[in-house]
Amino acid sequence: MSDTRTFRVKSYTLTCSAQVSDNGRFEPALVISKDAWPSRPRTIDVRRGGHLSAELAIEAARAQGVEWVANYG
């Protein structure tokens, strides 16, 4: 099972998802792409930590994506 949400921050699109791990918890994933050419998607390592719900895992990925855009965007 996988749940995905897309967010826009400045000129970037954050694709945040959550997948169920073997222990029944959710792990976040994050892909960032710039809205202007060249829009090369980048997979960003997200801090792990078995989240109790997909919503919490997606929020963790979104928060890290916002931090990435602030620092490197």
Check residue 1 and give its pLDDT.
54
Check residue 55 and give its pLDDT.
95
Ramachandran sector of residue 24 (left: φ over 0; alpha: ψ -120 to 50; beta: rest): left
Give all domains of the chain, ordered by start, each with its CATH number.
2-72 (3.30.160)
Contacts of 70 (CB under 8 A, 6+ apart): none
The dihedrals phi and psi of 20, each to the nearest 5 degrees, come to -75, 130
Tens of pLDDT, residues 4-59: 999 999 999 999 999 998 888 999 999 999 999 888 899 999 888 789 999 999 99
